[in-house]
Amino acid sequence: MGSPTAPRAVVLAGGVGGARFAAGLIQVLPPEQVTVIVNVGDDFTHFGLHISPDLDTVCYTLAGRENPATGWGRADETWHALETVAELGGPTWFRLGDRDLGLHLERTRRLQAGEPLSAVTRAVCRAWGVRATVLPVTDDPVPTVVDTEEHGRLAFQDYFVRLRSRPRVRGFAFQGVERARPAPGVLEALAAAEAVLVAPSNPWVSIDPLLAVPGVRDALASKTVVAVSPLIGGRAVKGPAAKMFAELGIEPSALAVAQHYAGLIQGLVVDESDAALAPRITATTGQAVFITDAWMPTPERRRALAQATWDFAQALRLARSLD
Ligand code: FO1
């Protein structure tokens, strides 16, 4: 038995899917043993405020403060500030609620005073009683740019929220990522973890930007890494992942997810509806496959998926140590 606060599991997470999976895992392991490393490629400045959508979704969800209907933003939200913006003819396409705005105001103030994003995130989590460690993958700006057929290069939130992911994608860039440094604690958590769990997040715009931060992919090389497919029956539970695969000329399926992560993961968790793909996944990538109900509509289902994924990772780790 290690120390009760030693990190055992690292989750690589984007927004809603990553947050819900992490919320399941802190029902399986003591939260102090879980580190969630979060994508910041979606971050942008709006009304002069620094918005970190995926970090906020993870923090709100682990604090039990998330909007259960959307998955992002706050529960019990009101919209007075945005109504005033609308009265004045300002932009309302990105819906910032009143409670949510408070976080963006305070984070922006601290960033402008010189605190790094990771320190601000730590303070937010402490204030809200989040016992897991939540880390932005980097404190440096690494904005995701989406190359589209119709509009050329678009800032991520322009593509995702303003244009509702409708443009056809041709590719992605993570600006400045080659100069980015992992945030304090990221490489340490990866080094200490028994296993790294890639949440059911969008591989293209949630997980790839994390892996692109220099040092992160290398830190996974010696680890047991297991991913949960975000595609169920060829469709994304939320967001445009399946559409992105198709537009990039890849048939969207759990097999495509396995091939996307080939060389990075040793195991893939897939939904029961994708069970027939398991032999081809193993034959083409060498990955072990675990089949379960991968849909997470309730806290119980989140816990069950996290438990199954953790047990699968532990079994793979044991098998590797015996090799
Ligand atoms: N997503 C939307 O589809 N529409 C919105 O108006 C919107 C507002 C928003 C505000 C704060 C926040 O933290 C997230 C918000 N999101 C919104 C979600 C978010 O932009 C995306 O889900 C992520 O960037 C993708 O993971």
Q: Where are the alpha helices (DSSP H) in 133-240?
A: 156-157, 186-192, 208-211, 216-220
| Ligand 1 midpoint to CA 130 (Å) | 21
25 belongs to a structural domain:
yes
Alpha carbon of 295 to those of 20, 100, 238: distances in Å?
10, 27, 11
- Amino acid 268 reads L
pLDDT for the residue 1: 45
- Identify which of 67, 72, 82, 137 to mutate to test ligand 1's pocket (most ligand atoms within 8 A of the CB): 72
86 belongs to a structural domain:
no
170 belongs to a structural domain:
no
Is any ligand 1 atom within 6 A of the Cβ of residue 94?
yes
298 belongs to a structural domain:
yes
pLDDT for the residue 204: 96
Whichever domain contains 216, its CATH number is 3.40.50.10680
- Total domain count, the chain: 1
Tens digit of each residue's pLDDT (9 = 90 or more) over 6-18: 679 999 999 999 9
Instruction: Pull the structure tokens for residue 121.
Output: 């995130």
* Digitized pLDDT (tens) for each residue of the chain, 323 residues in all: 455 566 799 999 999 999 999 999 999 999 999 999 999 999 999 999 999 999 999 999 999 999 999 999 999 999 999 999 999 999 999 999 999 999 999 999 999 999 999 999 999 999 999 999 999 999 999 999 999 999 999 999 999 999 999 999 999 999 999 999 999 999 999 999 999 999 999 999 999 999 999 999 999 999 999 999 999 998 898 899 999 999 999 999 999 999 999 999 999 999 999 999 999 999 999 999 999 999 999 999 999 999 999 999 999 999 988 87
pLDDT for the residue 238: 86
149 belongs to a structural domain:
no
Is residue 156 a contact partner of residue 44, using CB atoms and an 8 Å limit?
yes
216 belongs to a structural domain:
yes
Q: Look at ligand 1, atom 26, and give the residue with the nearest C-alpha.
A: 15
pLDDT for the residue 272: 97
110 belongs to a structural domain:
no
Is any ligand 1 atom within 6 A of the Cβ of residue 53?
yes
Tens digit of each residue's pLDDT (9 = 90 or more) over 50-103: 999 999 999 999 999 999 999 999 999 999 999 999 999 999 999 999 999 999
Domain containing 239: what range? 9-44+118-141+177-322
Is residue 73 a contact partner of residue 66, using CB atoms and an 8 Å limit?
yes
What are 92-95's contacts with CB under 8 Å, separation 24+?
A: 93/161, 93/162, 94/46, 94/51, 94/157, 94/161, 94/162
Q: Look at ligand 1, atom 16, and give the residue with the nearest C-alpha.
A: 72
137 belongs to a structural domain:
yes
Is any ligand 1 atom within 6 A of the Cβ of residue 240?
no
pTM, 2 dp: 0.97
Number of C-beta neighbours around residue 141 at 10 A: 17
SS3 content of the chain, % helix, strand, coil (to 5): 45, 20, 35
